[in-house]
Amino acid sequence: MPMENINILLTYLRLNGWHMTSFPFYYKKFEYIVLFEDLNNLNLTNDDKYSVLLTFIDMSDINRRLTVKANSFCFKFNVVEFRKFFNIAYTENLGDVFQEFYEYFNKFIPTEANQNVTNEELQIIVNQLNRRDNDNNMCCYAVKRNPQINGKQCHRTIFNSEKCRRLKPALYIEFEHDDTISFCFREENELSVAEILKNFAHNEIKNIKLS
């Protein structure tokens, strides 16, 4: 397996309740940030052959990106787009070139998720989580108890959990084991953990009296 660290890192994420992580990658003097996501959590076309989604972000232009599905053996990509993105010249032995790329890339894949990301990386990660959860906000101001719909309990998404875990870890810990509660975000006016917990307790008492 030329990229054996993919399986190791993916196992780490799943065991520790994370959806994604990021890490730096350097190729031909260019710096990239790689977003590493668990495909199991994404509503994409079924393709059991691949287990992760990788997004390469050019740090000289963060709008320049390449996204590929991957496993420990290979990527799924358009050859022309891949070559253009990484400035790989055409040769008759492209298969060997890609194999060398995989083996080189594997050296950059960590075996555990990096918890000490830069502010820039954190912003990139949260923006990706927002895309997954259809939410563009970053300021946590409340928690809410999810309803039952047609007798079925609603649960928070792993993206909502991870967003709070990264932006407001002290609040996340309070509700880590109760996924019937979701974290609420807005564009501005973030509240403190103490304020959020106080408001939640008040609403819980109010709902009990009304029931």
pLDDT digits (tens, 9 = 90+) for 124-148: 999 999 999 999 999 999 999 999 9
For residue 168, what are the CA distances in angstroms to 36, 115, 142, 149, 175?
21, 14, 11, 28, 12
Say whether 59 sits in a helix, a strand or coil: coil
Q: How far apart are CA 71 and CA 156, in angstroms?
A: 28
Query: Mean pLDDT per 10-residue run, the chain (211 residues)?
Result: 96 96 96 97 80 97 96 96 95 92 98 91 96 94 95 95 97 97 97 97 78 58
pLDDT digits (tens, 9 = 90+) for 61-72: 999 999 999 999
Closest by CA position to 144, among listed 191, 189, 174, 180? 180
Burial-class residue 172 by CB neighbours within 10 Å (0-12, 13-18, 19+).
Answer: buried
Say what the pLDDT of residue 201 is. Answer: 93
Q: Is the dihedral of CA 47, 115, 191, 188 positive or negative?
A: negative
Place of tokens 């047609």: 150
Which phi and psi angles does 115 have, rounded to 5°?
A: -95, -10
Say what the pLDDT of residue 132 is. Answer: 95
